[in-house]
Structure 1
């Protein structure tokens, strides 16, 4: 048996015989069907591939039995009518733990009344960090000095070398911060002028808090806070009786670790205050 005979016998097993070229007719309608079929096959391929790559999220509710761990609260909130210098954030829970004037992992960005960022390259921690002292004034101060806390000294705070130190000492004593102009540190740092400069500004607060996994609350409010007779109080006396518009836009508010596809009910929520408080 020759090789040609072997090939002919092998061709008999072809399950897909070809039509002779003489019987093939190419038509315009056939071309349209071919193009449409190709497009449909491509769409089906892309659709099935996308379905295969899409994550399927199954919400599940269960009891958290872990102890001693912290819950992360992610925030990004804009206050278009109240300045950063006025705002503070506090967190409290039923276990008795309080975080007053939180300044760790939470930042503020000054905004103008149009919502545009001011000093966009500079991120400041919450609270008045007294960064307006001139270089000359800083050089003139003795780094080993121990200035007065104006009667608010304690075992924890014995020296108040900045206006913020005095405010913190007053807060821990539960005293109102009435006359900043009468305090040398505040006058030297231009605290009152800084408050007036930021009066017609807005503020964006963003970052995260770490709290106990128990019932509690956190809130943004003007003025430093302190505890007095088991009552949570915010000191507004340094602001001279000014009223504040607490309208705000919640860009993002979530609990725990974010993951793709997660929906947070308060995201992109805006609340407009009907009147100043």
Structure 2
């Protein structure tokens, strides 16, 4: 017995004679459908094989605690004049964060939301804002021996609107209506606000902050620290005149990476009246993304946020403005790009061909036997 004859004895794929093969129309249809299915699945699997995939895993955040995080933002306020707006970033204790590296600008908008003609970009300094033009002081001479009333806030003299404001501030009081204050009736700040009321302001830029929980907000008035408490001086302008309707064109933390989610981008919030406090409570998750091409690892951040509106006129506490309160998660999400191995690709192709062939054979066999049984019954 020759070698070829011995090997033939182990043939698992015995072939029947052609005389015993039966070909049917249904079998032909099944064969054509099988070839089409295999071709489609082959193309799909090949496309998947040549494309980059991403796997996800969770780790404890191992980045240093002194890491800085960059906040990128572009927010347009529809009815809040630029002259009465400031940007502040506070830590969890409510104190202004120190050593902030920022590059923030504001631009005046008209009532339609377009850039105002002949207006220029004005640089803002975070946590060090002077929202009102500094030379707007009344120069009207006062009568000799004039002693203006402080309206119960002090027993001394308040000869200017600013002195009345300071007296009220020391008492912790707020001026509800400047029209009732004699020294403020011709106040240049009120005149400026009335002149520019209805204008909008676009605030855009970036700020590099410490990687710790904090409060990033854009609000009217000058941010000041009073008795270890952060507060805004509104220069006596009633809070119901500050409309905080806004559009968040962009808001993100850290550098970009593929498929980064930006949940607040292009969100529009319209207030029918002024005096609304918009608070966003965000959980920020550190991200590590490694590219397959050069094994370059990017550290970035994603966040989810909950939006809460508060009517200060009803709540009688708070400040109208845009407030973004954030904290960092201790869990890091790592994304790694990779290509599928050729071995797995080959196994998947074999599974596709074998699976389709087997299912098609079962369907054809079942149909053929069913037809024969029906013919015998007749």
Look up the match of 1:258.
256
* Equivalent position to 2:218, from 184, 199, 220: 220
SS in 1 for 2:241: coil
- Greater RCO structure (CA 8 Å; 6+ sep): 1
Q: Deviations over 1:90-112 (max 9, x none)?
A: 11113665149x99411111111
Q: Displacement of 1:213 after TM fit?
A: 0.7
Look up the match of 1:115.
113
Q: Please, what is the CA RMSD of the aligned residues? A: 4.2
Q: Which has the higher strand share?
A: 2
Contact 2:105–2:205 (CA under 8 A) maintained in structure 1: yes
Contact 2:111–2:199 (CA under 8 A) maintained in structure 1: yes
Q: Deviations over 1:132-182 (max 9, x none)?
A: 99xxxxxxxxxxxxxxxxxxxxxxxxxxxxxxxx9xxx9xx9899x99xx9
SS in 1 for 2:72: strand
SS in 2 for 1:98: coil
Cα distance in structure 1, aligned partners of 2:200 and 2:101: 18
Q: Displacement of 1:131 after TM fit?
A: 9.8
Q: Displacement of 1:223 after TM fit?
A: 0.1
Mark the runs of 5 or more structure 1 residues left unpaired by the alignment. 1-39, 134-165
* Equivalent position to 2:87, from 86, 89, 98: 89
SS in 1 for 2:80: coil
Look up the match of 1:198.
196
SS in 2 for 1:75: strand
Mark the CA change 1:191 to 1:57 in structure 2 (over 3 Å): closer, same or farther: farther
Mark the runs of 5 or more structure 2 residues left unpaired by the alignment. 1-38, 125-129, 137-161, 276-378
Q: Deviations over 1:114-139 (max 9, x none)?
A: 01111477211125585999xxxxxx
Q: Deviations over 1:34-93 (max 9, x none)?
A: xxxxxx99xx69x94x98466747475541431322111111111101111111111111
Decide which structure has the larger Cα Rg and report it.
Answer: 2
Aligned pair count reads 188
